[in-house]
Copies of this chain bind each other. A is one copy, B any other.
Amino acid sequence: MAHRDFLYSTCQRPAGIRSHNVTKPGDPMSNHPRLPDVVDGFGPLRPTALPAVAKTMRRGRELVLPDLDAAIRALGLKDGAVLSFHHHLRNGDAVLNAVVDAAARAGLRNLHIAASSIFPVHAPLVSHMESGVVTGLCTNYLSGPVAEAVSRGVLDRPVVLRTHGGRARAIRAGDLKIDAAFVAAPSADPMGNISGTEGPRACGVLGYPQCDVRFADKVVAVTDTLVDFPAQRIQIGQEHVDLVALVPSLGDVSGILSGTTRPSEKPADLEIARNAARVIEAAGLLVDGFSLQNGAGGASLATAAAVGRRMTDLGVTGSFASGGITGFHVDMLEAGLFRSLLDVQCFDLRAIESLRADPRHQSMSASMYANPHERGAVVDRLDAVVLGATEIDLDFNVNVTTRADGIIAGGSGGHADTAAGAKLAIVTTKLTAAGFPKLVERLGTLTTPGRSVDVVVTDAGIAVNPARADLADRLAFAGLAPVPIADLHRRALAQAERRPVHVREGDVVAVSEYRDGTVTDLIRRV
């Protein structure tokens, strides 16, 4: 019943509205004057009293606030609040900075930023850290000026670095309690229904905030494109959203998406790609139903391309490719190499177009993608994943978190998740980079445990984890002649011109969490 244009609330009846009869119209108790206090087998009961009920209703309330300052006020945040963000806008994101600026204007201090990733575009966060507005950070990936500042000790509390699946787990488990989740919404309606595919700064899938909005205390849709109710292609429904805050722009389109993403054509990349594809085939995985994940970089896509060529030759139809999805994956879908794409994040415009048009291209939440404690994760269905590495040690442990100088420049993202889930986790790498050896005796940081890494493919040979004797036999049989990883290590050291710096003592600036919440390593102040 009634509000707005014939507006009055059932609990606050304005003067001048008369009651036309004497039987207390609409009072349910006039029909049932006495309900008992307790019913056997049901227990104590509260009789319905409509005025009290009405106060609990939202009654079509639209809560669209004109800017983030108003949103921060409406949220009633306190010092020390945990604010969460997602990274589908990547290095084009203007939302995180704008929200923290507004929080700073509101005089908030000691905020904890829970972001799925931090990019160079988030550099303004450093001054908020220096001033004490932000004193806590957790993220799955950390690069650029914020990473450098953290490594130099800008925060007193250690940053927590998680995996994509570990973050979803931590939110679900209550390890990471979010006070306010800010969802960058390419379009939203006044009730808070959010679409990622519609709007001038569309980013496609919204896989990461799906977890935040279920468990956060408050949820804000931050949008530059307010559309009529109901939004089209709703990905996050209004039942999860408390209010909508308008901003002039979500960010820089060129940093959000590339037009399209293509495989590398560099000879060294192509050589590694061919070898990785041969390893997958030799492992016996290139049969119908094959599933693959690879990164979105040119070298990773070169491996996907090499695998795709073998699939075509062999007449193999894969089941799915997963992870961050590019136009190149769409090409593979449309060529019939895979039956489906499972997409947690679109990397280019072509991926978004495919998501909109092709039901075989399906979105997934971070939890469905990689949460180890949910009822099923897509990473656990992977046949092969092709991963990169900053450093690999002789036990196949991998560092993708810190650079050779000890400064943070990454983090697991989905690295440790996919390695743990896939039947065959391949790390591809050159022997050296920027003069540093990639194969090392001791890692700067242990990100992904070696037990989950099966093969290292380099430009100078292939090494199989000794725990995978079966796989070593298969590769040898296929003529791939795997070598001990110690051989690759020796050759890397011989090629390298310098040695990494390892900081083993001093203040802990970051804790590297494994997907289950245990700790793989500590990162020290540089």
Contacts and interface: CB of A to CB of B under 8 A. Distances in A.
A-side interface mostly: loop
Given A39-B511, A239-B374, A364-B237, A446 B32 contact: yes
- Copies of this protein, total: 2
Interface string A454-470: 10000000000111111
A381 B17 contact: no
A18 B451 CA distance: 14
B1 A454 contact: yes
A191 B469 contact: no
Interface in A283-297: 283-284, 289
A45 interface: yes
A42 interface: yes
B59 A380 contact: yes
Contact of A1 (B191, B289, B371, B453): B453
A319 interface: yes
Interface string A413-437: 0000001111111000000000000
B48 A518 contact: yes
A420 B28 CA distance: 14
Interface in A360-374: 360, 362, 364-365, 367-368, 371-374
Contact of A6 (B10, B373, B375, B471): B471
A228 B375 contact: no
Interface in A339-357: 339-340, 342, 356
Contacts of A23: 394-395
B521 A449 contact: no
Contacts of A519: 35, 45-48
A207 to B, nearest CB: 11
Contacts of A214: 214
Contacts of A42: 157-158, 160, 508, 511
Given A25-B450, A27-B395, A508 B39 contact: yes
A238 B449 CA distance: 26
Given A1-B468, A53-B420, A192-B376, 5 more contacts: A1-B452, A31-B443, A45-B518, A230-B362, A230-B378
18 contacts: A21-B466, A24-B395, A25-B450, A26-B450, A26-B453, A28-B451, A41-B508, A42-B160, A46-B518, A47-B520, A50-B449, A52-B518, A53-B420, A54-B451, A58-B380, A229-B320, A237-B365, A238-B368
